[in-house]
Structure 1
Amino acid sequence: MNKDLIIVRQTTTSLRDCKVCGASARYSYYGAIVCQSCKMFFRRHALTEQTLNKCVYDNKCEINISNRRKCLPCRLAKCFANGMHTEMLRSCHSHNNTLTKKRKLIDGTISIISTPAQMLNKKSPPEQISTLSYDQWNLLSTLVYSFDEHSRYSLVEQFIEDQNTLPVKLRFKHSIVTDFFTSIMSRIQRVYEKHRDILSLSHDDRSILFRKTVEYTSSISGIYVLKQTKLLDDFTFLKSSEIIFQPIGMIFIKRIIDQLDHNDTFIKLILAVIAFSTINYTVYRQSTSMNLINIKSILSIQDIYVKLTWQYLLNQCNHTQAVLRFTKLIRCLLLVISMTAEAHESKEFTKMINSVIEQTQQTFCY
């Protein structure tokens, strides 16, 4: 059976901010929502980054719409930091170049038929060859876009900006911080509202799976936002957060932030793995039926994301580094479990999680 080999690109036209320079952006290119200018910049320079001159300011330039052309190395570094990938660039180029290259589908992966000279070209080291199939790139691209579409990081920035305009004594009040966390945690659940794998499950399994994993997916996404924004550096925000998560819980959160992987695509993949987890890490809702009907189907879906996560890591680094990053991640997940256990001693946290469930239950499970 012939299959169209297409890199998925969203069709929505909602206006967003470019992750690199802040200009207006509508689409996700090569793994991140960026403007046309940054898209073309990445296409020109990503595969030949070694030819760029070194930054004269120790790679600390701030990239925005006004100065994005002044420091090419820092602009390219920001492209990579925000999730843009050369592998997606290669895949797109290969797909668009059908008149000059022949493709062959072997065991679910794409093999480009090259001349002997091309195959022996030492400028393309083995670690740069994509280990992901086209189906995996499609799945990854869809997942990344779905997260970016619902994360609305611009709203987080607006929240911080609004709070900083207030007098110091009025900033980051407990109720405001609670609403902030509830919003962040609710938004991450919407990633799965129309997720094809979630929709393939029965209503009961969707509901049970959601309740099993909501503390962990929500907490990790919230902690990652804290890592990105460095909000815990603000003493007032920290104190308000301690009311929600308990002082001991905040200690765990700080440790998680210190160890959490810097790659946001990797974090998104891990959230997908956890979202299809059937294990009862801890049980807080004794009255809720937690018996999944089709557990084998759920485990097979989780396996897909586990394999995709591992292949993605191998695509980013060598085998030893991939093992070390996975090991570090496991330590982080154990800390998340400890943090959640401590936070459940707080009525505020329980109330917040119940609010997240209430806000997403209808659209997510029905």
Structure 2
Amino acid sequence: MKPFDQTLVKDFFTLFYETTELCLRSNNDLCNLSSNDRSVLFRTGADCITCFGRAFSICQYQLNTCQSFLNMLHTIYGEQSVAVTLNSIKFVDTDIALAKMAGLLLVFSNNTCIFSSTTPLDHVNASVMLQVQNKYAEVTWKYLLYRYGYYHAVQRFMYLIQFLLTLTQTISHLQSIRSHVNDIESIVENTELALILDDIDQINETTDH
């Protein structure tokens, strides 16, 4: 089998960072938060969505069975990063609709904290976070009941929780990978700048009227 080109693998992961930025900007629940809450959740959200999408895609396209791909990941991110990612893949549910809801649920899980040098020390508004988190949890549960019935809904929700827990370990480890941290910071800065420009446009439109 022809070995993977390192540039192609890096481009593959670059897509996750670019897509993450779009996801953050398009989520109204996130964008409508106060500037402080928004700033805190942009960092955790960028980490969550990036790692979630990475694990889901590797599983979906069965890249975890491609040794040349895994070897290239070892070279770029290190053995431990690959190990924790493969561990989280064991609990991935291939239901795309469920995956989207689960990713958002993780973003707003304010009871999960990962501290790093780039994370603001400010606390988010717990009341607001719980309202949004509960909304996503309720929608996820109702979808599972409708789609799979009670027994399989419980089973899939259990695996979802296990996946989110292992994903948290992956996110925690990646705080030690400088290239990842820099990419996340770039996502946050670009997203915050885009929203500031949007706010300015809205103010100008209001003033004109």
Which range, TM-score by smaller chain?
0.7 to 0.9
Q: 1:298: how far off? A: 2.4
The SS at the match of 1:299 is helix
Q: How does 1:301-312 map to 2 (within 5 A)?
A: 301-312=132-143
Q: How does 1:62-211 map to 2 (within 5 A)?
A: 168=2, 171-173=4-6, 175-211=7-43
CA contact (8 A) 1:344 1:350 kept: yes
Residue ranges of structure 2 left out of the alignment (5+ in a row): 198-209
Q: 1:313: how far off? A: 0.4
Q: 1:286: how far off? A: 5.7
Q: 1:311: how far off? A: 0.4
CA contact (8 A) 1:343 1:349 kept: yes
Separation in structure 2 between the aligned mates of residue 333 and residue 218 of structure 1, nearest angstrom: 13
**Percent identity of paired positions between Structure 1 and Structure 2:** 23
Which 4+ residue blocks in structure 1 deviate beyond 4 angstroms? none
CA contact (8 A) 2:145 2:153 kept: yes
Greater share of helix residues, 1 or 2? 2
Match of 1:224 among 41, 56, 61: 56
Alignment of 1:273 with 2:105, yes or no, is yes
Separation in structure 1 between the aligned mates of residue 43 and residue 182 of structure 2, nearest angstrom: 14
Which residue of the partner structure matches residue 149 of structure 2? 318
Separation in structure 2 between the aligned mates of residue 290 and residue 337 of structure 1, nearest angstrom: 20
Q: 1:318: how far off? A: 2.1
CA distance change for structure 1 residues 184 and 212 in 2, over 3 Å: closer, same or farther? closer
Residue-pair matches, total: 197
CA contact (8 A) 1:217 1:275 kept: yes
Q: 1:269: how far off? A: 0.6
Separation in structure 1 between the aligned mates of residue 17 and residue 48 of structure 2, nearest angstrom: 10
CA distance change for structure 1 residues 357 and 232 in 2, over 3 Å: closer, same or farther? farther
- Rg comparison, structure with higher value: 1
CA contact (8 A) 1:272 1:305 kept: yes
The SS at the match of 1:317 is helix
Q: 1:267: how far off? A: 0.7
C-alpha distance after superposition, 1:247-287 (max 9, x if no partner): 12212222322321121100101111122222343211366
Which residue of the partner structure matches residue 335 of structure 1? 166
Task: Give TM-score, length-normalised by structure 1.
Answer: 0.49
Q: 1:225: how far off? A: 1.3
Which residue of the partner structure matches residue 257 of structure 1? 89
CA contact (8 A) 1:172 1:236 kept: no
Letter in 2 for 1:354: E
Larger RCO (CA within 8 A; separation ≥ 6): 2
The SS at the match of 1:206 is helix
Tell me the C-alpha RMSD between the 2 structures. Answer: 2.4
Letter in 2 for 1:186: E
Task: Give TM-score, length-normalised by structure 2.
Answer: 0.81
CA contact (8 A) 1:281 1:337 kept: no
Residue ranges of structure 1 left out of the alignment (5+ in a row): 1-163
Which residue of the partner structure matches residue 91 of structure 1? none
CA distance change for structure 1 residues 249 and 287 in 2, over 3 Å: closer, same or farther? closer
C-alpha distance after superposition, 1:99-118 (max 9, x if no partner): xxxxxxxxxxxxxxxxxxxx
Separation in structure 2 between the aligned mates of residue 216 and residue 199 of structure 1, nearest angstrom: 16
Separation in structure 2 between the aligned mates of residue 189 and residue 347 of structure 1, nearest angstrom: 19
The SS at the match of 1:193 is helix
Match of 1:348 among 155, 162, 179: 179
CA contact (8 A) 1:259 1:328 kept: yes
Letter in 2 for 1:335: T
CA distance change for structure 1 residues 339 and 365 in 2, over 3 Å: closer, same or farther? farther
